[in-house]
Structure 1
């Protein structure tokens, strides 16, 4: 079972100058949790999966379940309902504020801050996975349980049409779709895995012009992946076949970007920092 550790170290990779204040790390402990707690987590996961197209943010539900047990709260306030033609009384206002403050107090960590998931962008995680693959540290940095949850996250945020967006609520883009598809393959997923999700993702990519239609940033990541294969002899040949089908090409296929352009002021429209897709 997963547990959110707040303001704790315990890893040689985590260094701090403030005693880890504000740091949040999810840690997997196979011996943690009663059968009832584990079942509660699985129910929450399944409920999110079923409603993922309508409610795309998890609302930190697993964290809230954990905090509800660590910070139990007895809510004995009456339910306040005010009709359209009623005036708001001082008593109703005070009761509502007390309920809100009480609820927020249960979500506060012991170091004083309010934790929260950095959810939304879909283009950051693939960069981490590709970098770990390029450096040969994917299975060293990410445990099997971490990889399992990353796959779950990526599958849960696949759009109905099979693609992935720039963020969890965005429409499908070639940039988001190719990077997410590549990430899933690097995380051990085959072309037919994910209960049809991989097939749908591949079809969306091919139906929209293949990975050659992705942005410069996407091409850069895929070029890194090609170098990874050249340098890593044990790279799965099936993944290589997939890469070739996607149309991955060497650095010559990337749009040229003279480094002197970075010396331009930011208000210039063609500054690389203002034009992510050139």
Structure 2
């Protein structure tokens, strides 16, 4: 199963000037859990899928289920059995109730703390980071070197989980469907091996229909046009490049290309 490694892994493609402090990377290890723990992980993933399909407000960044499950196992000396406190709008909040709630919150935060002292957080809001990375790996010929079968499986799962009911994807995971989110997510799925009609639930067909019904991929913003051009499916002449003179402006200006 998946295991989050903290400040570890002297990989051939990674370099560090601070001994990898703060680095977080997911590694697949088939023997990382017992059969019971693996079953609990699969159950949690399926439950999460059902939950966000019913209520998109649960699709929030920094709520990584696998990370929390892993750290709770590693920090199993912390007692998390304190029952939750529930109070109605007109019920009095006593000193004892407030103390119990605070104690439970502090223990939970301690339980999900990494062993080197910091708290882990994911960067999973925008829906254009992952497709761009997949495109770069594809054009460099490294997609099958860097991404294992298990990596691809989870990337596909992640993208599908955040598909909206209308078939498109948002600019970020909670957003309404946009062309940049939809076109790039669809392209990423195809590069990861998904066919145009592979899904029994019609997810890929719905994605195609949303893109075509909303003007096609040519309606994508400039970042998306650059990605399409890199792939060779859009003419570079159609990209709106900033004037070269912008590089002469002071770097503190908000429209400098470095910003």
Fold-level match, TM-score > 0.5? yes
Aligned partners of 1:4 and 1:168: how far apart in 2? 22
Q: What is the CA–CA distance in structure 1 between the aligned matches of 2:164 and 2:6, rounded to whole Å?
A: 32
Query: Unaligned regions of 5+ residues in structure 2, if any?
Result: none
Answer yes or no: is 1:34 the counterpart of 2:34: yes
Structure 1 28/79 Cα, relative in aligned 2: closer, same or farther at 3 Å? closer
Match of 1:199 among 183, 201, 205: 205
3-state SS in 2 of match to 1:218: helix
Partner residue in 1 for 2:111:
106
The two structures, once aligned, show a CA RMSD in angstroms of 2.4
* Corresponding residue number in structure 1 for 2:244: 259
Aligned twin of 1:65: 69
Provide the C-alpha distance between the structure 1 equivalents of 2:4 and 2:252, rounded to a whole number of angstroms.
42
Distance 2:49 2:86 in 1: 32
Q: 1:221 to 1:96 in 2, by over 3 A?
A: same
How big is the shift at 1:203? Answer: 0.7
Deviation at 1:82, TM superposition (A): 4.4
Q: Given that residues 249 and 256 in structure 2 are in contact (C-alpha distance below 8 angstroms), is that contact kept between their aligned partners in structure 1?
A: no
After TM superposition, the score normalised by the length of structure 2 is: 0.89
Unmatched segments (≥5 aa) in structure 1? 227-247
C-alpha separation between the residues in 2 aligned to 1:89 and 1:138? 57
Alpha-carbon contact 1:5-1:27 (below 8 Å) kept: yes
Count of residues in correspondence between the two structures? 253
> 1:151·1:187 contact (CA, 8 Å) conserved in 2?
yes
The equivalent of 1:243 in structure 2 is none
Q: Deviation at 1:179?
A: 0.7
